[in-house]
Structure 1
Amino acid sequence: MNLQAHKNHILENGFTTINSIFSDKELEKIDEVLKNIDTSNENFRKSEDLFAIRQFLKELPEIKDLLFNDNIKAIINEIFGEKYVAVKSIYFDKPEKSNWYVAYHQDLTISVDKKMDLTGFGPWTTKQNQFAVQPPLNILENIYTIRIHLDDTDENNGALKVVPKSHSKGIYRAETIDWNVETEEICNVEKGGVMIMKPLILHGSNRTTNGKKRRVIHIEFSDMELPEELQWSEKN
C-alpha cells in the first residue's frame, strides 16, 4: 500500500482507490452491526431506491472501532495528516433494483451544530434539526472523504464517476462542464476497498443495471476549527 503514491494522485487528480483495506472477517463484523439497525429511526431516510443514515457514526457509535482499523488509521495519518478527524458521516444502501441516479455535482456543504450569521458561510439548509452550510472555499479544499465499499462496485451498480482534476477549479457548476476539455473516469472499487476523494471533485453515479446492491460508508475528515462558536456537528 504505497500511500505516498496515493496521496500524490489525490492532490493531482482529486481521488484515488485502494482495495483490500478490510478483511473478510472485518467486513462480517461490520455487516453484523448493520443487520441490527433499527430502520424505523426518524433520522434514517428510506425509499425504494435508497436507504441512508446521516450522522452515521453518532447513530451507531459501536461501529467506529470496526471502521477505524489500522489501514484506515494509516490513510488518515499519512495521506491526510495527524490532526484530521471525522466531521461528517453517511451510510448509503442502494438496493439491487435501485434506479437512484446522481447527476454530476460537488459536495459543497458541511454539517454544523447550529445556524448563525457568519461572513462567508451560506446558503444554509436545515433538515430534522441538522444544519448544513456552504463554508468558505478554503474549508472545502481542506476536506478529504473516505468512501468505504461494503460491496463490489463498478459502472453497472452505481460506481462513482468523476471528472479528474476538477477539484482544483474552485466552485464548478456541472452544467458548465466542457467535455471537449474534461474527461470522465469510473471508480470501480472491490468489496472491502475504499475510494478517497476531495469533495470539490465533480462526481456522480448512474442507475444500477446488474441487480447488485451497493452499500457505502461515506466519512469526511478535516483538521480545521470553525470560526467563533460554530462547531462541526459530528466531530469524532
Structure 2
Amino acid sequence: MSIDDDLASNVCVSRLNQNGFALLPSPFTAEELDQITADLTVAIAESQRDGESIRTRAGAAYAARNVLSVYPAVAQVWRKSSLVDLLLEVLGAHCGLVRVLYFDKPPEKTWSLPWHKDLTIAVREHVAASGRYEKPTLKAGVPHVEAPLDLLQQMLTLRIHLDDVDAANGALQVLPGSHKTGKAAASGTPHLVACRRGDVLAMRPLLSHASGESAAETRRHRRILHLEFAATPQLEEGFAWQLFQSVT
C-alpha cells in the first residue's frame, strides 16, 4: 500500500467513524462495470419468474435478494484491494460477506424508501426464542432476525453503484452521525449521496437512510449492488449466518 493509499484509507475510516458513511472513488474500470452490469441484467431477467427472490413491478425488476444464487460471480467482482483493505481495517481479520442485495429504480417504475436503519440479518434458521435476536421473519424464503446492537455495530455495507446517481434518479439520503444513536431514530439535516458510476458507498447499517422517487422525466436506472459484511463468522444462542464468505 502506498503512502497515498494509506492517507486515503485513514480519511475513509475517519469519515466512517464520524459520519457513519464514506464515498470511495470507483476501483473498477469502465469495461469491468460494463461486464458486471450486462451479466447481472441477464441473470435478473432469467430469474424474474422466481417471485421469492426477484421483486418486480409492472414487469420491471427493482430488487433481488439471494443475489449470490442468481449471480454467483458477485462473490468475486467486489474484491478490489482498496475494498478488501478497508474491510480488514474496519472489521478485522476474521470478517466476511454475509448478504448481497440488488436494487434498481427502473425508468417509469420508480419507488421510494422511508427513513430507516438496517437492523435485520439473514440466518440459517430460526431457533428457540432469544433475548438478543428478535422479530423473526422470512424474506424471500430466508429466515431473518433483528440483530443485537453490538453485532450491528461490527458490520459494514458496501454499495457499488452501476449508474451515475443523483437526485434525478433517487439517490440515497443519509443523516450524518446517526449511527451513533444505536437502533433509535435520529434527526438532523439529510445529506444526498450523489456519486458516479462505479463509486462505492461504505456505510454503517445503523446509519439512518432513505431515498426518494426518481424524477418523472428521467430515463436513467439506479442499479446498486448492496453487500453486507460482518466482523465475525460466529453468532450466539444457536444462530448461524445464512451465508458467510471470508474476506481473506
Q: TM-score, normalising length from structure 2?
A: 0.87
The AA in structure 2 aligned to 1:219 is L
Q: Could you list the per-position Cα deviations for residues 146-195 of structure 1 after superposition, in whole angstroms to 9, with x for gaps in the alignment?
A: 0000000011111110111010111223xxx54xxx21111111101111
The AA in structure 1 aligned to 2:166 is D
Kindly indicate whether residue 117 of structure 2 is the aligned counterpart of residue 106 of structure 1.
yes
The AA in structure 1 aligned to 2:50 is N
Q: Residue 123 of structure 1: SS of its match in structure 2?
A: strand
Q: List runs of 5+ in structure 2 lacking aligned partners.
A: none
Cα RMSD between the aligned structures? 1.7
Match of 1:124 in 2: 136
Kindly indicate whether residue 58 of structure 2 is the aligned counterpart of residue 41 of structure 1.
no
**What is the deviation of 1:21?**
1.8
Q: Residue 198 of structure 2: SS of its match in structure 1?
A: coil
Find the aligned partners of 2:239 and 2:69 in 1 and give their Cα distance: 18
Kindly indicate whether residue 27 of structure 2 is the aligned counterpart of residue 16 of structure 1.
no
Match of 2:91 in 1: 80
Q: Could you list the per-position Cα deviations for residues 103-155 of structure 1 after superposition, in whole angstroms to 9, with x for gaps in the alignment?
A: 11001111101011222111111134311111211011111000000000011
Q: How does 1:122-201 map to 2 (within 5 A)?
A: 122-173=134-185, 177-178=186-187, 182-201=188-207
Relative to structure 1, the CA distance from residue 81 to residue 212 in structure 2 (aligned partners, 3 Å threshold; closer, same or farther) is same
Match of 2:71 in 1: 60
State the identity %: 30
Match of 1:211 in 2: 219
Kindly indicate whether residue 100 of structure 2 is the aligned counterpart of residue 89 of structure 1.
yes
**What is the deviation of 1:50?**
4.9
The AA in structure 1 aligned to 2:20 is G
Find the aligned partners of 1:120 and 1:78 in 2 and give their Cα distance: 27
Q: List runs of 5+ in structure 1 lacking aligned partners.
A: none
Kindly indicate whether residue 208 of structure 2 is the aligned counterpart of residue 226 of structure 1.
no
